[in-house]
């Protein structure tokens, strides 16, 4: 394991305003997105940012296909009458939807809304797709843009009005199978988190914070340097709530007609926001190697007459790395000095840099520089693939473990409301009653993110009513 | 080359109504899309259809990246005021756009439209991206959904209101460079056409049929069995028309400020519609091997006690094919008879089928069946990869050449308006004047699709005015 990075923005109570400025600055400098598009909360994915998102999507897609999900694409527009069938769902989204009321010169008879999520687009059709138990389980997913009329201050990747979205929807014969699906989703999430270097807490949300229409929601939360939790995924048990509203029934093996049990699993471009926020440092973003659009950048340090030989050597290194499927480029711009090239590579968060000058050319070596630690090492050309692979693996592990350590360090037990005054995650006792829950949230100006999905032993009392049957709840500010 | 398919729907004047019924039926049976979504002209991409489209997109993406285009993603919603800056463009699309007028409970101050194409979303930002000649050429593309309020009868893939769309946008210093870009686009189109088995004509459209806002448009048209031309791509020379409207200027090497020259290249899900229409036969769709989601389907013909050995042999064949990157599956359903499995494989248009029964198991052979010709051949297991690769190549060539032959056979010279009475492509003399052009279109109830982009020798006179300076124009019904 590499030593902890020294130049990191301090992993402690980071001033929120400073964080915002820093976050916007490093995103702009890495050229991930352009927020100057003339509609608020709708940004342009620039090539580098879009490649990063596509790499994340490819990983997600692979996990979904491996677990027998099939990819589909449903239409964007949902008729008002279909949207209004599940009462809690509409209550949850009514204030957030965009309405298409006109087409060409015609007022539409039935207004169409832009999907804020696709339950109400998909479920009227599930009713047509599912006839008998032979059609189950139905496991599909899609990657689309969704729209939510966010009223708070918008922020690139984490709080947008047009959102790049992943959503999986499943239908099962029984509640137990649906529960198994949720466990499978959490396993996928765990594998993804490792590669994206996003340690997190899996928290069963409170009744008043669950997904509109869900029976329960598991929120997956990562901790930002500001001490706020950012939800990076949501996994929802719908039971038969939507099936009853959309009449999605199947004939079981005995010929009986029953409602299907449903689950969903959602993620979004927030994953990018979490990566930027959690791993970036004063020099810029740091991208986890598994999803970095460029994993290794080679920089020729060319002086005088050896320029061609050095470039040729760089090309040879590039070809060797690419033949091992390592995404590589050469910064061979002629009018830019090496110092500026180092700076660019850092700002773009490229995991590894290889510097090649006359010495390296002569000795058949290479100088390898880690983005996260700035560690510089010299290797023989013959060691290239082994060492690069090793550093990639080590960096991935190091990014994850540092963030995991930060997360764990910032979980603090509190027995009294008065102890809750820092930007940390407080583990408190809560009896589970909404009354006490709301009092906790109001007096601390924080949210109860929930209780651990896997459960845990807890011996404390409810921090409000003193009830000894309390569970451990996690209290924190939300990003 | 394989012999021409005997069971094909007749490659001649196919009755349009019959064609429609057949087209809808084979699409449904192949399970490419579901048109029962409750908004007209907006269909669901089912897993098999979406994989096909993704395979097409991957090929397009590869060509674009190889020619230094970068992929981006712009927002869907365009403010009304940005949309209205180019007069011809707005005139061309005004009747077709969907308007978002409300969000949550608020009426929007400035209505937002759903992109019908992205010029007016991108070009206000190009103005920010381009400062000097060093920023040029700018070459980007995106793959997104666009929306057009189609008033005619909608049809899966070819005439939809939500359209899966590819669009490339480029900016150049000079008109010559823009012309070179158009040639590059046509080269990409040609390579794609070969793999998609879609021979076509590249026609420079008439003034009144060009893209709204363009200086000129090259339409790429394929011929359907109905004798109608379907546009499968559009390549547009904008000159400085949009640059002037959106003030996109650059400082040239002498410090002078000039407008950029722009081009675009667009394709859509129509490619799928063309493939279905042109290659399908009475048994269903036929998918070109390069983009077929499944290239080879193995069918175990299991009788009694050899079932396990046969399945094991099938598995061995599958693994061998997959190790050569040939997309393969096994139809190992237990409760379905081989005949039904053959039928399913045909309906899904899977290029090659491998039947494995006791004889094949014993002799270490395999029976290979071509979807397009129904040719059946027996091969040794050792020949597997070579023969499959050969058949894939031969089928690709055969599909292309048969369609090319059909296209060429259906181009007919006409000297008199009265000769124009069949569902064919008529090559006629046209002086180029709009008056004569419109008379041709009105009296024949057909469209002038244009003149060949590459030009051609022509000695006839204008079919209306008799002017001897006539060019060869292509007249046909449009799908």
Q: How far is B45 from chain A (nearest CA, A)?
A: 5
- Contact B129/B61 with Cβ under 8 angstroms? no
What is chain B's Cα-based Rg? 25
Contact flag B50-A71 (C-beta cutoff 8 Å): yes
Q: How many domains does chain B have?
A: 3
The residues near A338 (Cβ < 8 Å, ≥ 6 apart) are A299, A301, A355
Q: Give the CA-trace dihedral at A46, A51, A52, A56, to 10 degrees.
A: 130
Looking at the whole model, is its pTM more than 0.80? yes
CATH number at residue A110: 3.30.930.10
DSSP H or E segment with residue B219: strand B216-223
Q: Judge whether B274 and B231 are in contact, CB under 8 Å.
A: no
Q: Of B84, B81, B103, B101, which is closest to residue B92 (Cα–Cα)?
A: B84
User: d(Cα B209, Cα B331) in Å, to the nearest integer?
Assistant: 48
Q: Give domain status of residue B1, yes or no.
A: no
Asked if A43 and B75 come within 8 Å (Cβ–Cβ), the reply is yes
* Cβ within 8 Å of A, B 30-49: 34, 36-39, 42-47
| B87 pLDDT more than 90 | no
SS (H, E, C) B358-380: HHHHHHCEEEEEECCCCCEEEEE
Residue B284 lies in a domain: no
The pLDDT of residue A1 is: 37
Concatenated DSSP letters of A217-246? EEEEEEE-TTSEEEEEEEEEEEETHHHHHH
Of B203, B268, B160, give the one whose Cα is nearest residue B448: B203
Residue B7, pLDDT above cutoff 80? no
Contact B39 A77 (CB under 8 A): yes
Between residues 72 and 101 of chain B, which touch chain A (CB distance below 8 Å)? 72-79, 82, 94-101
Give A46→chain B minimum CA distance, Å: 5
ipTM (interface pTM): 0.96
Q: Which of B24, B26, B28 is nearest to B283 (CA)?
A: B26
Note whether A51 contacts B: Cβ–Cβ < 8 A.
yes
Assess whether B236 and B353 both reside in one domain: no
Res B437 pLDDT > 60: yes
With respect to residue A21, please indicate whether it lies within any of the assigned structural domains: yes
Q: Are residues A265 and A127 in the same domain?
A: yes
pLDDT at A9: 58
Asked if A73 lies within 8 A of B44 by C-beta distance, the reply is yes
Q: Which of A337, A359, A391 is the last residue of a domain?
A: A391
Q: Which residue of B has its CA nearest to A77?
A: B39
- Could you tell me if B157 and B205 lie in one domain? yes
B164 and B272 part of one domain: yes
pLDDT beyond 80 at B144: yes
Of A42, A71, A100, the CB nearest to B75: A42
Is the same domain home to B431 and B301? no
Sign of CA dihedral B137, B138, B144, B146: negative
Q: List, in sequence order, the alpha helices (H) in B94-239.
A: 119-129, 175-196
Whole-number pLDDT of residue A8: 58
**What is the C-alpha to C-alpha distance for residues B384 and B298, in angstroms, rounded to an integer?**
12
Please say whether the beta carbons of B377 and B388 come within 8 A.
Answer: no
User: For residue B328, what are the β-bridge partners?
Assistant: B296
Q: Which two tokens stand for residue A129?
A: 């797709």
Q: Do B74 and A101 touch (CB under 8 A)?
A: no
Same-domain status, B129 and B79: yes
Measuring CA to CA, which residue among B260, B38, B170, B76 is closest to residue A81? B38
Q: What are phi and psi of A88, to 5 degrees?
A: -65, -35
Detail the DSSP E strand segments found in B335-415.
Answer: 352-356, 365-370, 376-380, 411-413
Residue B235 is part of which domain span?
Answer: 16-279
Q: Which helix (H) or strand (E) holds B64?
A: helix B47-66
pLDDT tier, B22 (very low <50, low <70, confident <90, very high otherwise):
very high
Cβ(B289)–Cβ(B195) below 8 Å:
no
DSSP B227: S
Q: Which of A391, A423, A441 is the last residue of a domain?
A: A391
Report the DSSP beta bridge partners of residue B300. Answer: B356
Are both B273 and B300 inside the same structural domain? no
B8, pLDDT greater than 70: no
Residue A273 lies in a domain: yes
Strands A201-204 and A162-172: unpaired
Closest CA to B329 of B294, B355, B291: B294
Q: Does A339 touch chain B (CB under 8 A)?
A: no
What does DSSP say about strands B257-259 and B328-330: parallel, antiparallel, or unpaired?
A: unpaired
User: What are φ and ψ of residue A166, in 5° steps?
Assistant: -115, 135
Per-residue tokens: B324: 């050569």
- % of chain B residues with pLDDT over 70: 97
Q: What is the mean pLDDT of chain B?
A: 95
The pair of three-digit structure tokens given for residue B52, joined into one six-digit string: 């096909």
Q: What is the average per-residue pLDDT within B165-194? A: 98
Q: pLDDT at position B465, please?
A: 97
- Asked if B196 and B311 sit in the same domain, the reply is no
The B residues from 133 to 192 touching A (CB cutoff 8 Å) are 140, 145, 147, 149, 151, 162, 164
- Interchain proximity A75–B39, CB inside 8 Å: yes
CATH number at residue B384: 3.40.50.800
Question: Which chain B residue shows the shortest CA-CA distance from A140?
Answer: B47
Question: DSSP letters of B418-465?
Answer: GG--SSSEEEEEE-S-HHHHHHHHHHHT-EEEEEETT--------TTT
The residues of chain A scoring below 70 in pLDDT are: 1-14
Task: Give me the phi and psi of B251, to 5 degrees please.
Answer: -95, 120
B400 within domain boundaries: no
Same domain, yes or no, for A332 and A436?
A: no
User: B63 near B188, Cβ under 8 Å?
Assistant: yes
In a domain, A124, yes or no: yes
B300 and B274, same structural domain? no
Q: Report if residue A465 sits inside a domain.
A: yes
Where a domain ends, among A220, A244, A279? Answer: A279
- B107's enclosing H/E stretch is strand B106-114
pLDDT at position A358, please?
A: 94
* Option in B78, B145, B149 nearest A104 (CB): B149
The pLDDT assigned to A287 comes to 98
Q: Is residue B7 situated within a structural domain?
A: no
If asked whether residues B166 and B126 sit together in one domain, one would say yes
On whether both A142 and A261 belong to a single domain, the answer is yes
For residues B362-387, average pLDDT: 97
- The CATH number covering residue A438 comes to 3.30.110.30
């Amino acid at each position: 394991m590499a030593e902890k990075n020294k130049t990191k923005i301090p992993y402690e109570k980071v001033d929120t305003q400073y964080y915002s400025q820093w976050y916007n600055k490093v995103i702009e400098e890495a050229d991930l997105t352009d927020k100057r598009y003339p509609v608020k909360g709708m940004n342009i994915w620039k090539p580098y940012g879009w490649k990063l998102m596509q790499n994340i999507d490819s990983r997600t897609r692979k996990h979904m296909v491996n677990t027998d999900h099939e990819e589909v694409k449903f239409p964007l527009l949902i008729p008002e009458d279909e949207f209004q069938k599940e009462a809690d769902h509409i209550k949850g989204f009514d204030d957030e939807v965009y309405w298409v009321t006109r087409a060409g010169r015609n007022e539409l008879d039935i207004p169409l809304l832009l999907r804020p999520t696709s339950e109400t687009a998909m479920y009227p059709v599930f009713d047509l797709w599912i006839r008998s138990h032979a059609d189950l389980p139905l496991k599909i997913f899609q990657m689309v843009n969704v729209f939510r009329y966010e009223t708070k201050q918008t922020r690139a990747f984490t709080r947008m009005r047009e959102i790049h979205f992943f959503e999986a929807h499943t239908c099962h014969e029984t509640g137990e199978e649906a529960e198994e699906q949720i466990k499978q989703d959490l396993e996928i999430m765990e594998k993804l988190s490792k590669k994206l270097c996003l340690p997190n807490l899996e928290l069963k949300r409170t009744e008043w914070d669950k997904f509109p229409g869900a029976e329960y929601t598991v929120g997956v939360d990562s901790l930002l340097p500001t001490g706020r939790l950012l939800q990076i995924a949501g996994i929802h048990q719908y039971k038969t709530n939507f099936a009853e509203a959309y009449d999605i029934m199947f004939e079981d093996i005995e010929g009986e007609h029953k409602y299907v049990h449903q689950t969903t699993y959602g993620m979004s471009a927030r994953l990018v926001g979490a990566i930027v926020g959690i791993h970036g440092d004063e020099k810029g973003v740091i991208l986890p190697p598994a999803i970095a659009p460029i994993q290794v950048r080679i920089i020729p340090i060319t002086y005088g007459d050896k320029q061609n030989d050095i470039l040729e050597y760089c090309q040879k290194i590039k070809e060797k790395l690419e033949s091992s499927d390592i995404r590589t480029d050469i910064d061979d711009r002629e009018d830019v000095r090496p110092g500026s090239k180092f700076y660019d590579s850092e700002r773009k968060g490229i995991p590894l840099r290889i510097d090649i000058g006359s010495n390296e050319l002569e000795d058949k070596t290479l100088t390898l520089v880690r983005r996260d630690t700035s560690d510089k090492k010299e290797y023989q050309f013959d060691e290239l693939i082994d060492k690069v692979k090793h550093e990639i693996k080590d960096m991935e592990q190091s990014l994850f473990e540092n963030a995991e350590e930060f997360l764990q360090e910032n979980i603090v037990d509190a027995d009294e409301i008065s102890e809750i005054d820092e930007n940390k995650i407080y583990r408190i006792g809560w009896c589970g009653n909404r009354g006490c829950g709301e009092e906790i949230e109001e007096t601390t100006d924080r949210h109860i993110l929930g209780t651990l999905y896997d459960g845990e032993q807890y011996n404390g009392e409810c921090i409000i009513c003193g009830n000894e049957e309390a569970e451990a709840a996690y209290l924190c500010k939300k990003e």
